[in-house]
Structure 1
Amino acid sequence: MCSKAVKWSAPILVAAAVAAAAISAAAAQVVSSDKLVQERQRDMKAMAAAAKRINDMFKGTSPYDAKAFKAAAESIRAHSGERLSSLFDGSVTAAGSKASSIIETERPKFHDLAAELGVYASALSIAANRNPDVLGPEMRMQGGDAMMGGPIARKPQATRDVASIPAEHAFHMMLQTCTSCHAKFRLQTE
């Protein structure tokens, strides 16, 4: 009778080990998913805070500081492009995430928006270098700027047109890129 118990206990032990490994792998995947969602959220918050600092300088609610302006632009640039795209590789839906699965089916569009965000942020960084003392008129949008347009005007191509637009316009185009991405790829909550 003892030998039969040993014969039955080996398959049971193997099954228990396989089940434990599967549970452990699933738990590790949840932890990994949670960390990825937290990393995405940290990056998004960092970009939002940086955009707010730049916005406050354009609005005049904070004094212009070229170093702070550049640091904010560089923060956005560092969190955009390949970095941003890589945080949404594979399956993007997870508990606590506001990312839509549409990213998975329209990855090229998502990647383009992430890259565009970096182009505009780079333009802002360059503008800070060129204007170390004051947020002057050359950084501001002018009423007659041909590139400004309206809501139905042609959107400039970031990689082609960014050098020819004032920093303030690049900033607004960067915000429009964020808005476009959120409208298309973020779950809408009521």
Structure 2
Amino acid sequence: MRLNADVSRLSALMLSIAALATPVFVAAAQSLPPEVAQRQQDMKAMAEAAKSINAMFKGSSPYDSKLFKAAAETIRSQSGTALSTLFEGSVTAAGSKASSNIETERQQFDKLALDLSSYAAALSVAADRNRDALGPGMRMQAGDAVAGGGPLAKRIDPARDAISMSAEHAFHLMLQTCTSCHAKFRVESK
């Protein structure tokens, strides 16, 4: 399916960005303002957690509900209001890639942070419900393509709808949320 190929490319892109950024975070963290170092450390932890979940969905790591849940909880605990709090006040600082758009479009940034938390919470619940195997109920279903994905999709409310979708769909929407946030609120290096 074209949707699965697009989602796979999106997942691969997000995880590649995280992998490339990791050494930069470690080297730069020693000379960064504390709030910037904390943001980067938390982003790295979320990226590593997403890589772990992705590996289980792809089958390159065996499914382990405890590790899946721990990864989802890492993302959940560091998103939502916790993420918004890290970007309070003036967000631009030496060594930061945060855009001043966060300050001027605070409601949209906070909504993306809360959406990220909702998707991660849905993944955590899915791990509780699927202790033994990453079964068909966790996989994307044919109807997922029209519920929250793509420009023609039905719009969803992650806080209300994430728990009722497949874990794989929630994961892909979570990655799309990360991509949207980075596209809007992150300054690209030149």
- TM-score, length-scaled by structure 2: 0.80
On the 8 A contact 2:149/2:173 being kept in 1, the answer is no
Q: What corresponds to 2:78 in structure 1?
A: 79
Deviation beyond 4 Å, 4+ runs, structure 1: none
Partners of 2:109 and 2:160 in 1: CA distance: 19
Q: What corresponds to 2:134 in structure 1?
A: 135
Q: Which amino acid aligns with 1:184?
A: K
Q: What are the Cα deviations for residues 6-39 of structure 1, in whole angstroms up to 9, with x where unaligned?
A: xxxxxxxxxxxxxxxxxxxxxxxxx9x7000000
Larger-gyration structure (1/2): 1
**Cα displacement (A) at 1:151:** 4.2
Q: What corresponds to 1:58 in structure 2?
A: 57
Q: What corresponds to 2:162 in structure 1?
A: 162
Q: What are the Cα deviations for residues 37-70 of structure 1, in whole angstroms up to 9, with x where unaligned?
A: 0000000000000000000000000000000000
**Cα displacement (A) at 1:150:** 3.4
RMSD, aligned α-carbons:
1.8
**Cα displacement (A) at 1:100:** 0.2
Partners of 1:148 and 1:34 in 2: CA distance: 37
Q: Which amino acid aligns with 2:56?
A: M
Ranges in structure 2 where 5+ consecutive residues have no aligned partner: 1-29
**Cα displacement (A) at 1:164:** 1.9
| Structure 1 residues 136 and 83: CA distance shift in structure 2, 3 A | same
Q: What corresponds to 2:178 in structure 1?
A: 178
Partners of 2:149 and 2:105 in 1: CA distance: 28
**Within 5 A, what are the aligned runs for 1:16-31?**
none
Aligned length: 160
